Amino acid sequence: MNKRKVAVFVEGQAEYVFVRNFLCRWYDYDSTLLGIECFSLRSDRYNSEPYPFGDRKSVNYYQIVNVGNDRSVLSKMLKEAPRLQNAGFHQIIGLSDMYSDLYHVQTKERCIDVAVNQKLIDECQNSLNASSQRDLLSYHFAIMEVEAWILGMYQFLQQIDSSLTPQFIMSRLQIDITADPEISFYHPAKVLDEIYRLAGRQYGKHLNEIASITSQFSKDDYARLLASGHCKSFNEFIKDLVAE
């Protein structure tokens, strides 16, 4: 029987893979504690996506929905909220990157602007507050992208290539990979790609790339990021996701 039944709407495959991997690690791949179903939502049609885990009777059941567009996450979750409430869901969470075309329009200097961050957060919250299902709804931005959360666990880079130490990255790119990525990198995916290129590889948000990265993360890696004081948006999202 479900203790928690949660729907998570995400903007793309990077977020979908990241959230799924986190949940599996966090619940130690215990199918009595965790059930996951994954879907893409296109033109109001749900299509099954890899890879489900456990079943709907698990203590914690999650439905991860990839809407495939950063601007659609909020509208899709609001539209689906009445149906999900009737289906017994306890929580409906949205996740998208702060980095977007809309953000660029408001920050012509192409730098992180805390005031713009808060403006976009407030606008989303106002939309949630207007919903009849507002008590079930929450929305989170990965600041500036989910890749910032990945860079917050930068130790994995040396598993990609042993040369990718913080010192080497600093010497070649003048990037301090040990700094808080949430306040340091305007375009974290680009930073990750630049680092990968030092090892003769590329990163382009592709499914196989994000799956390869997240497969290297352990529960301890996530716990260290939560305790590090870095990536505040990650902490806030996870508190909602696992309600701990």
User: Are 124 and 59 part of one and the same domain?
Assistant: yes
User: Are 39 and 65 part of one and the same domain?
Assistant: yes
User: Are 103 and 197 part of one and the same domain?
Assistant: no
SS3 content of the chain, % helix, strand, coil (to 5): 50, 20, 30
Residue 120 inside a domain? The answer is yes
Residue 97: enclosing H or E segment and its boundaries?
strand 91-97
User: Are 41 and 135 part of one and the same domain?
Assistant: yes
60, 6 in Cβ contact below 8 A? Answer: yes
Residue 166 inside a domain? The answer is yes
User: Are 84 and 195 part of one and the same domain?
Assistant: no
Residue 222 inside a domain? The answer is no
User: Are 24 and 122 part of one and the same domain?
Assistant: yes
pLDDT in tens, 32-42: 999 999 999 98
pLDDT in tens, 40-90: 998 889 999 988 999 999 999 999 999 998 689 999 999 999 999 999 999
User: Are 85 and 179 part of one and the same domain?
Assistant: no
User: Are 121 and 160 part of one and the same domain?
Assistant: no
Residue 225 inside a domain? The answer is no
User: Are 178 and 70 part of one and the same domain?
Assistant: no
- What confidence score (pLDDT) does residue 2 get? 81
- pLDDT tops 80 at residue 244: no
User: Are 202 and 154 part of one and the same domain?
Assistant: yes
Q: Domain of 143?
A: 4-147+230-242
- Please state the φ and ψ torsions of residue 48, each to the nearest 5 degrees: -65, 140
Count the domains in the chain. Answer: 2
Nearest C-alpha neighbor of 11 from the set 2, 19, 23, 1: 19
User: Are 142 and 173 part of one and the same domain?
Assistant: no
**For residue 124, what is the domain's CATH number?**
3.40.50
User: Are 67 and 166 part of one and the same domain?
Assistant: no
Single pTM value for the model: 0.95
Residue 219 inside a domain? The answer is no
Range scoring the smallest mean pLDDT among 59-63, 107-111, 219-223: 107-111
